[in-house]
Each structure stands twice: as structure tokens, then as C-alpha cells.
């Protein structure tokens, strides 16, 4: 019974990690940029949800209608203003740029909103449903369901729509895509927008569950990197599965080994994956070097 | 006279006129350094602590400062131990301050005071918890507040001797769990709990640490659930405190009483983030806030007004008071030393014997002498117990100090 509860906890947690990672892996797979400011986009989205709730009284689930478009636009803006000038620069320049943006955003938010922790006290967020002795928390169930839904929708989008096919084409072979006449810059911009919009949804959904402060993104994004590497950079399904795996590992190792060692366990997995299968569970072999070429 | 001589004369007069300005600028103030976390994950706790020292400085300057000069702070920011060392170095070598006040965080104090000791600069610790801070035999380090081990001991004593009987149990039947964040702060309090448990013959049903930056504590909650405690003794910062409380609720665990150790569980943000489930269930052994009984803590209402006026917010936190009290003691030391020379300051500090009747928190200040294992520690320091009731933190123990009209509520 305890074991099943721990598994369920792990799955629900994994849903959160997966949702945050999907945007990151999309951006990496297509635009070939490791967006170190991804966590800060999550944080900004959480602040948007928080202030929509506290100033406008808007339920965070409704304010998703604001989060997604706003973060989409911000993502597109970041691509055009910061990434585009560095498209042909060595990879480490892009790393510097996104790390720099990350630091800027954290401190800007710290300056404007101070370091105080902010939390939404939503009665709904405390609701728990018991299914045969297993406790399930409503907001986390919603996050899990949303993750599944988004993964499926994204998969269908990439497979069936015109833009989706262009995105996949560019992910497979940039040069060929350019030769075919695709407008790379426009696709990069849209992809960055989608990736940021997705993490915007993640931020909106986890605001009822967590608390908001300037460095909240840092901790989530570290786990997101582990998930992305585990699942295979650029692979959506990989990110989804990777997220669930990490969530379960977190939960199991926290209970059976030690709560203070659970992060150690999945960072060890991270290192092992990098050593033995750097392309991840579902990534294409060689994908891990794509950012460098 | 010709133009050249005129120009030289005018130049000399101007230089002479400037000279007193330059000279007086240097001598009219006493520069003291401060090290607190002004940014980073514990920024709001660091800033709240700094406000206490700042108020002490403002009040003393109203009385004319010390040694006839006004006190000026060189405020530095240490979001982590590495930055603390760098800033200490700068304060000692560039700013050349005679005393550094700090720092709330044990890890920061540890690092910074080791560095200041090298430069023979006095480190005046106002609020950090780890007992080990004053067990290093550092000559120039003094801590005015109680340390966590002593606090941990008080936590367990409170649970076993005050809460247990009111819950219909005794020290042998009450189930007590100890849960703590695994940095210097939590470790210190948990060690105190363990030691006192051994001394009192009380068995802990759980003794677990966790990382305060974790984004999920469900596995810890599952372990707590398996142990079935009546009382949880907890050491958490704000975010992990909120997360733990929420996840305990989410997983259907009903805990009757929590006894926190100050840290994050004292802050208004904790109450706001965890919701009203906290009321009447969560106590804190720790530093007191401004709702001490004014007949017990004399002058506290005026201090609260100063806080409101200076910082434009309500004095709801609990760290500024103890930092204020420690800083006020420093002015007494400097006065008795008669100078800012390190050796004179150390000698005056060692001779400190302020009675509890003369301090705002009603415990005295007297430092353990050289040769004692906890040299530099204020041996008269102690904690209070507060409880969240109706959305606010009220002092409930010792009884004489309790907020007027409030007393300890125990859920059975």
C-alpha cells in the first residue's frame, strides 16, 4: 500500500518535471540552443499567475489563457533579440547569453518584487481525493493530465500540421531544410515561442502547488536538464517518459534510501546516462553533439 | 603683485579651506561592517535580521553615537558562504572596519568569522544558530543570541514536559518525530534534540533530514506517516516549511502539534503559504516578535514604531528584535573599551555583564570566558515559544512573556 502511494506520488511529481522539460527539449532539438533561462521563464510565468490571482482575483487555471500567449511572445522575443544575433556563433556564446539572461531575470525580479515567498492559498489546491486508500491531490492530478494532453497534442501538431512538419524537418537536417527553401528564422522564432509557451503553462499549473520566489526556476530547471538528457535531447516522448522516470526515482529513493539523498540518486543516473548513452533513452545517436556543429 | 603670485596665493587659500573638510570627514564617524544575505534564497530572512542592527544604530546615533561619533554601517551582501568570505576580506582590508556585525545564516557566519579572525577584526554574531560557531576557540568572535543546540534541547523539553501532559500523555508515551533541513541550521537544532532526548530518556520515533531546496518532500512525508508521531519537531526555512506542511496535508497525514525552531516557520509568508491549517497547531521555539507583553519587554512598543517609520512596513518578523538586542550590547562594549582597538574591544567584551533587567528580551549578556569550550557564546541567552493563532504569531511561553490575552493552545 505504501509502495503504491509512493509510486503514485512519483508519477504525479514526474508529470511536473515532464511538463517543464517538454518545452526545453523542443527548443534544444530544433533551435539547438540550451536555454539556461528556461527556469526563469517558468518563474516569470508563476509570477504572472500569482499577480493575476492576487490583483485581479483570476483563478490560476483561467489565467493560463494569459500565461501561454504572453510567454509565447516573450519566447519569440528572446529568440529574436538574444539568440538570433548569435545563430552562427560558437555554442558557448549562446550558453553565455542564456546564462546571462537567466541571471538578469532573477535579479530583475528580485529587485522589483523582493525575495519574499509568495503563495496562492487556493481552497481547491488542498483538495484530496482518496481512491482505495491512496491519496491523490487535485492540482497534481490536473498537472499530470495536462502533461499527457499536451504531449499528445504536441505530437499531433508536429506530425500533422504544416508548421509542425517544418519544425521536424529542421530538427532532422538544418542544411537540407534551408536548401528546400524553409524560412529557418521564422521557424526558430515560433519554436522558441512554443517552448516558452509550454513552460508558461507549466508555471501556471504549478503555482497553486508551490510558492513563488525569484530563484524557484533554478531548482526545477536542474531537474529538467536531467530529464531532457535522460529522454534524449529533442525528443518529446523522451522528455515525457524521462520526467516520469525521474519522478518515480525521486519518490522511491526518498523513501527507501533517504530523503536527503534522493537528488543524489538522480544526478548519479544523469552522469551514468552521459557516460553510457549520451543520446538518452530515445534520442538519435549523435544528437548530443548537435548543438556543437 | 603679479598674476602668478596671486594664483599661487588663491590656490593655497583654497587648499587650506578644503583641508578641514577632508580631515573632518574621516574622523566624525565610526565605520562598522555588516554581513547579511541581502539577495539569494534567504534574502528576506537576512534583511529582516539586518533591520534589527540598523535600528540599534539609528537609536544609538540619536543619543550621540559611541565615543562621541556617529555610527555608519558598511553594508555588504553575502548570498552564500563564498561571497561572505570575499566581503569579509574587503571589509577588513579595504574598508578597515574594527567590527563586523552579522549574519543570520550559520554557514555564512562560519566562513566570514574564520576570515575576520585572521585579520583580528571582531565579529559580532547576532542571530546564527549553529553551536559549532562558538566552539572553535576564536578570540575575536562573540555571539549574543542562543544557539540551535540549546534551542533543540528546548524544543524537546517543551514537547515532552509542556505539550505531553496537555495531550494526555507523558514523556514515555508521547511519540515525537524530529525532521530537519540538512544545513548548519537544521543540523544544530536536531543535534540538540537528540542530546536532550538521550538525557531525558525520551525515544524519538523518527529522526530525518532533508534538503531545503528540494522541490518535493512526499517521500519524507511517507516516512513520517509510517512513524505515526503525535508531535513533530521541525527545523525548516520558509519554502521547505510551506512545502512540507502542504504535502503533509495532501497525503492525508493528521499531525496534532508541530514545534518549529524559528527559521522559516516564524515568517508571515509561511502562514500565508501554508494556510489557516497552521493556526493552533504550529508552535515555534525561537526568537520572539514584537508582540511580547510590553510590561515584560520594556520599550518594545517604541521600537515597533521606529520599525514602522524606518522601513515602512509592519514589524511582523522575529529576527530583528534579537539582532537589535545584540547590536545594542555592542555599543556598550565599545563604550567600555574606550577605543576601536581590537584588543581593547575583546577585553571589554569579555567583561560584559548586562543584567536581564536591562535588556529588551529580559535575558542577560555574559560571554563564556577564554578556555571554556564555547568561548564567546552568550551563556544567558534563551528562547521563547510562540504559536500561530488566528493568523498571527503570539508568544505563549514563558507565561509572563505571553502576549496579553493569549495562551498556549494544545490540540489533543
ipTM of the complex: 0.76
Residues B341-354 have pLDDT tens digits of 999 999 999 999 99
Contact assignment for B269 to A119 by CB distance below 8 Å: yes
Domain at B89, CATH number: 3.40.50.2300
Contact assignment for B249 to A255 by CB distance below 8 Å: no
Q: Which residue of B has its CA nearest to A256?
A: B219
The structural domain count of chain A equals 1
For residue A126, give the nearest of B209, B214, B275 by CB distance. B275
Say if B265 falls within a structural domain. Answer: yes
Note the pLDDT of residue B399: 78
Best mutation target among A211, A249, A252 (most B Cβ atoms within 10 Å) is A211
Rounded to the nearest 10°, the torsion over CA A229, A234, A236, A241 is -20
Do both B253 and B389 map to the same domain? Answer: yes
Note the pLDDT of residue B23: 45
Q: Which residue of A has its CA nearest to B223?
A: A255
Residues A3-21 have pLDDT tens digits of 899 999 999 999 999 999 9
Do both B38 and B116 map to the same domain? Answer: yes
Q: Check whether A133 has a pLDDT greater than 90.
A: no
Do both B304 and B268 map to the same domain? Answer: no
Q: Check whether B129 has a pLDDT greater than 60.
A: yes
Contact assignment for A219 to B44 by CB distance below 8 Å: no
Note the pLDDT of residue A246: 93
Say if B93 falls within a structural domain. Answer: yes
Do both B165 and B264 map to the same domain? Answer: yes
Q: Check whether B25 has a pLDDT greater than 70.
A: no
Say if B272 falls within a structural domain. Answer: yes
Q: Check whether A291 has a pLDDT greater than 50.
A: no
Q: A113 is in which domain, residue-wise?
A: 2-292
Give the predicted TM-score (pTM) of the model.
0.72
Do both B164 and B260 map to the same domain? Answer: yes
Say if B409 falls within a structural domain. Answer: no
Report yes or no: A141 at the B interface, CB cutoff 8 Å: no
Note the pLDDT of residue B289: 82
Contact assignment for B208 to A135 by CB distance below 8 Å: no
Q: Which residues does chain B have within 8 Å of residue A1's beta carbon, measured at their own beta carbons?
A: none
Residues B312-335 have pLDDT tens digits of 998 877 789 999 999 999 999 999
Q: Check whether A224 has a pLDDT greater than 80.
A: yes
Q: Nearest CA to CA, how far is A7 from chain B (Å)?
A: 10
Could you tell me which residue, B12 or A221, shows the higher pLDDT?
A221
Best mutation target among B49, B104, B206, B219 (most A Cβ atoms within 10 Å) is B219
Contact assignment for A119 to B273 by CB distance below 8 Å: yes
Q: How far apart are CA B37 and CA B42, in angstroms?
A: 6
Say if B376 falls within a structural domain. Answer: no
Note the pLDDT of residue A82: 92
3-state secondary structure chain B: CCHHHHHHHHHHHHHHHHHHHHHHHHHCEEEEEEEECCCCCCHHHHHHHHHHHHHHHHHHHHCCCECCEEEEEEEEECCCHHHHHHHHHHHHHCCCCCEEEECCCHHHHHHHHHHHHHCCCEEEECCCCCHHHHHCCCCCEEECCCCHHHHHHHHHHHHHHHHHHHCCCCCCCCCEEEEEECCHHHHHHHHHHHHHHHHHCCCEEEEEEECCCCCCCHHHHHHHHHHCCCEEEEECCHHHHHHHHHHHHHCCCCCCEEEECCHHHHCHHHHHHHCHHHCCCEEEEECCCCCCCCCCCCCHHHHHHHHHHHHCCCCCCCHHHHHHHHHHHHHHHHHHHCCCCHHHHHHHHHCCCECHHHCCCCCCECECCCCCCCCCEECCCCCEEEEEECCEEEEEECHHHCCCCCCCCCCC
Size of interface A-B (CB pairs under 8 A): 114
Confidence of residue B380 (pLDDT cuts 50, 70, 90): confident
Report yes or no: A135 at the B interface, CB cutoff 8 Å: yes
Note the pLDDT of residue B72: 95
Do both B74 and B214 map to the same domain? Answer: no
Average pLDDT of chain B to the nearest whole number: 88
Say if B1 falls within a structural domain. Answer: no
Q: B119 is in which domain, residue-wise?
A: 26-145+299-358
The structural domain count of chain B equals 2
Q: Nearest CA to CA, how far is A121 from chain B (Å)?
A: 6
Report yes or no: A13 at the B interface, CB cutoff 8 Å: yes
Q: Nearest CA to CA, how far is B388 from chain A (Å)?
A: 17
Domain at A131, CATH number: 1.10.3470
Q: Check whether B262 has a pLDDT greater than 90.
A: no
Q: Which residue of A has its CA nearest to B249?
A: A126
Highest mean pLDDT range out of A66-75, A250-259, B248-257, B378-387?
A: A66-75
Do both B138 and B164 map to the same domain? Answer: no
Confidence of residue A289 (pLDDT cuts 50, 70, 90): low
For residue B211, give the nearest of A130, A209, A263 by CB distance. A263
For residue A117, give the nearest of B214, B222, B238 by CB distance. B238
Q: Nearest CA to CA, how far is A28 from chain B (Å)?
A: 24
Q: Check whether B17 has a pLDDT greater than 70.
A: no
Say if B193 falls within a structural domain. Answer: yes
Could you tell me which residue, A61 or B25, shows the higher pLDDT?
A61
Q: Which residue of A has its CA nearest to B212?
A: A260
Do both B128 and B37 map to the same domain? Answer: yes
Q: Which residue of A has its CA nearest to B47?
A: A115
Residues A152-198 have pLDDT tens digits of 999 899 989 999 999 888 888 888 888 988 888 999 999 999 999 99
Contact assignment for A121 to B226 by CB distance below 8 Å: no
Do both B214 and B274 map to the same domain? Answer: yes
Residues B197-213 have pLDDT tens digits of 999 999 999 999 998 88
Do both B76 and B52 map to the same domain? Answer: yes
Highest mean pLDDT range out of A276-280, B275-279, B365-369?
A: B365-369
Say if B92 falls within a structural domain. Answer: yes
Amino acid at each position: 500500500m505504501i509502495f503504491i502511494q509512493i509510486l503514485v506520488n512519483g508519477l504525479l511529481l514526474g508529470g511536473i518535471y515532464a511538463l517543464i522539460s517538454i518545452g526545453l527539449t523542443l527548443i534544444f532539438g530544433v533551435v539547438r540552443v540550451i536555454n539556461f533561462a528556461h527556469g526563469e521563464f517558468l518563474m516569470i510565468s508563476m509570477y504572472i499567475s500569482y499577480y493575476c490571482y492576487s490583483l485581479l482575483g483570476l483563478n490560476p487555471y483561467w489565467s493560463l489563457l494569459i500565461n501561454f500567449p504572453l510567454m509565447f511572445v516573450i519566447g519569440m522575443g528572446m529568440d529574436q533579440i538574444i539568440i538570433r544575433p548569435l545563430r552562427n556563433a560558437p555554442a558557448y556564446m549562446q550558453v553565455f547569453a542564456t546564462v546571462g539572461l537567466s541571471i538578469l531575470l532573477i535579479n530583475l525580479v528580485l529587485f522589483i518584487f523582493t525575495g519574499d515567498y509568495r503563495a496562492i492559498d487556493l481552497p481547491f489546491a488542498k483538495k484530496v481525493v482518496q481512491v482505495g486508500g491512496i491519496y491523490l491531490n487535485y492540482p497534481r492530478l490536473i498537472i499530470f493530465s495536462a502533461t499527457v494532453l499536451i504531449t499528445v497534442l504536441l505530437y499531433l501538431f508536429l506530425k500533422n500540421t504544416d508548421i509542425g512538419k517544418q519544425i521536424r524537418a529542421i530538427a532532422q537536417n538544418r542544411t537540407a531544410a534551408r536548401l528546400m527553401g524553409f524560412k529557418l528564422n521564422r521557424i526558430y522564432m515560433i519554436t522558441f515561442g512554443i517552448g516558452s509557451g509550454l513552460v508558461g503553462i507549466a508555471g501556471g499549473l504549478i503555482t497553486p502547488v508551490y510558492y513563488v520566489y525569484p530563484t524557484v526556476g533554478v531548482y526545477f530547471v536542474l531537474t529538467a536538464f536531467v530529464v531532457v538528457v535522460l529522454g534524449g535531447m529533442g525528443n518529446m516522448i523522451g522528455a515525457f517518459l524521462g520526467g516520469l522516470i525521474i519522478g518515480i526515482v525521486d519518490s522511491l529513493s526518498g523513501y527507501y534510501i533517504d530523503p536527503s539523498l534522493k537528488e543524489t540518486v538522480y544526478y548519479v543516473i544523469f552522469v551514468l546516462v552521459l557516460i553510457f548513452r549520451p543520446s538518452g533513452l530515445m534520442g538519435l545517436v549523435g544528437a548530443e553533439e548537435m548543438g556543437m556543429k | 603683485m603679479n598674476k602668478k603670485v596671486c594664483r599661487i596665493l588663491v590656490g593655497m587659500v583654497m587648499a587650506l579651506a578644503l583641508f578641514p573638510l577632508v580631515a573632518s570627514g574621516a574622523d566624525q564617524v565610526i565605520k562598522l561592517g555588516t554581513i547579511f544575505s541581502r539577495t539569494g534564497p534567504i534574502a528576506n530572512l537576512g534583511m529582516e535580521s539586518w533591520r534589527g542592527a540598523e535600528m540599534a544604530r539609528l537609536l544609538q546615533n540619536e543619543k550621540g553615537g559611541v565615543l562621541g561619533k556617529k555610527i555608519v554601517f558598511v553594508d555588504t551582501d553575502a548570498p552564500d558562504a563564498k561571497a561572505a568570505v570575499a566581503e569579509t576580506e574587503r571589509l577588513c582590508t579595504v574598508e578597515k572596519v574594527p567590527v563586523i556585525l552579522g549574519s543570520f545564516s550559520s554557514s555564512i557566519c562560519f566562513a566570514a568569522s574564520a576570515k575576520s579572525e585572521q585579520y583580528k577584526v571582531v565579529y559580532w554574531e547576532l542571530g546564527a544558530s549553529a553551536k559549532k560557531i562558538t566552539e572553535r576557540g576564536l578570540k575575536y568572535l562573540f555571539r549574543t543570541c542562543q544557539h540551535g543546540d540549546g534551542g533543540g534541547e528546548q524544543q524537546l523539553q517543551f514537547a515532552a514536559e509542556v505539550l505531553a501532559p496537555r495531550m494526555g500523555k507523558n514523556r514515555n508515551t508521547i511519540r515525537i518525530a524530529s525532521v530537519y533541513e540538512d544545513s548548519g541550521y537544521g543540523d544544530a537544532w536536531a543535534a540538540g534534540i537528540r542530546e536532550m532526548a538521550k538525557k531525558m530518556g525520551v525515544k524519538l520515533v523518527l529522526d530525518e533530514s532533508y534538503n531545503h531546496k528540494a522541490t518535493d518532500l512526499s517521500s519524507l512525508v511517507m516516512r513520517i506517516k509510517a512513524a505515526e508521531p503525535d508531535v513533530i519537531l521541525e527545523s525548516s526555512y520558509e519554502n521547505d516549511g510551506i512545502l512540507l506542511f502542504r504535502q503533509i496535508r495532501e497525503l492525508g497525514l493528521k499531525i496534532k502539534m508541530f514545534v518549529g525552531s524559528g527559521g522559516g516557520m516564524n515568517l508571515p509568508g509561511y502562514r500565508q503559504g501554508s494556510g489557516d491549517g497552521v493556526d493552533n497547531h504550529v508552535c515555534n521555539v525561537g526568537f520572539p516578535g514584537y508582540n511580547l507583553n510590553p510590561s515584560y519587554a520594556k520599550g518594545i512598543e517604541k521600537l515597533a514604531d521606529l520599525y514602522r517609520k524606518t522601513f515602512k512596513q509592519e514589524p511582523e518578523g522575529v529576527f530583528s528584535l534579537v539582532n537589535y538586542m545584540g547590536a545594542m550590547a555592542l555599543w556598550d562594549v565599545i563604550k567600555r573599551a574606550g577605543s576601536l582597538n581590537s584588543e581593547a574591544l575583546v577585553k571589554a567584551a569579555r567583561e560584559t555583564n548586562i543584567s536581564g533587567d536591562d535588556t529588551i528580551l529580559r535575558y542577560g549578556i555574559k560571554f563564556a570566558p577564554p578556555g571554556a569550550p564555547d568561548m564567546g557564546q552568550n551563556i544567558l541567552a534563551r528562547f521563547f515559544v510562540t504559536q500561530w493563532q488566528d493568523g498571527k504569531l503570539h508568544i505563549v511561553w514563558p507565561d509572563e512573556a505571553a502576549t496579553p490575552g493569549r495562551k498556549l493552545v494544545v490540540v489533543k
